[in-house]
């Protein structure tokens, strides 16, 4: 672990839906390792029901995962996350699902949004929350 990750409070992270999907589909990848580290307690994950519902919708319809397998994975997410109830809706990005990420961050006070999506990455920052891709997060904290 490099200096930025040493001796500090656990970083609070919100994962974009595409990161949850990649962690599931690509075992052994950087995003899979990130999720494993969240489960190990290295980071504090914040997630909202909207994010979980979006993950379930995409993984079942686009990737044809069964309802049972999707539920098993979402149960693992819920078990290892702080479930956040955003206070309200925002509309700062064209993609409504990306706005749900911002809403979660606003309530959770995350240090980082980890995303592979251009809409969020182009924003770079939301208030004090940095928005970075998984590889950049890994360079900082793995």
CATH number assigned to the domain with residue range 10-136, chosen from the 4 options 3.40.50.1010, 1.10.240.10, 3.10.250.10, 3.40.30.10: 3.40.50.1010
Q: Is 47 in a helix, a strand, or coil?
A: strand
**Per-domain boundaries in the chain:** 10-136
Q: What is the pLDDT of residues 77-93, one digit of tens each?
A: 999 999 999 999 999 99
Q: For residue 104, give the nearest of 118, 135, 120 by alpha carbon.
A: 120
Q: What is the pLDDT of residues 30-79, one digit of tens each?
A: 999 999 999 999 999 999 999 999 999 999 999 999 999 999 999 999 99
Hey, what are 5's tokens? 């990750």
On the question of pLDDT at 2 being above 90, the answer is no
Is the Cα dihedral 110, 111, 117, 119 positive or negative? positive
Return the bridge partners of 82, or none.
Answer: 46
On the question of pLDDT at 5 being above 70, the answer is no
Please give the pLDDT value at position 3. Answer: 39
């Amino acid at each position: 672990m490099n200096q930025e990750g040493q001796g500090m409070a656990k970083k609070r992270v919100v994962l974009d839906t595409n990161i949850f999907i990649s962690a599931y589909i690509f075992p052994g990848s950087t995003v899979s390792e990130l999720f494993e580290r969240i489960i190990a307690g290295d980071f504090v994950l914040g997630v909202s029901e909207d994010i979980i519902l979006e993950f379930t919708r995409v993984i079942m319809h686009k990737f044809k995962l069964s309802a049972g397998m999707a539920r098993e994975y979402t149960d693992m997410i819920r078990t290892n996350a702080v479930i956040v109830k955003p206070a309200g809706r925002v509309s700062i990005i064209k993609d409504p699902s990306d706005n749900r990420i911002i809403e979660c961050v606003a309530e959770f006070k995350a240090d980082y949004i980890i995303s592979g999506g251009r809409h969020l990455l182009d924003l770079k920052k939301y208030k004090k929350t940095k928005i970075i891709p998984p590889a950049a997060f890994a360079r900082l904290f793995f």
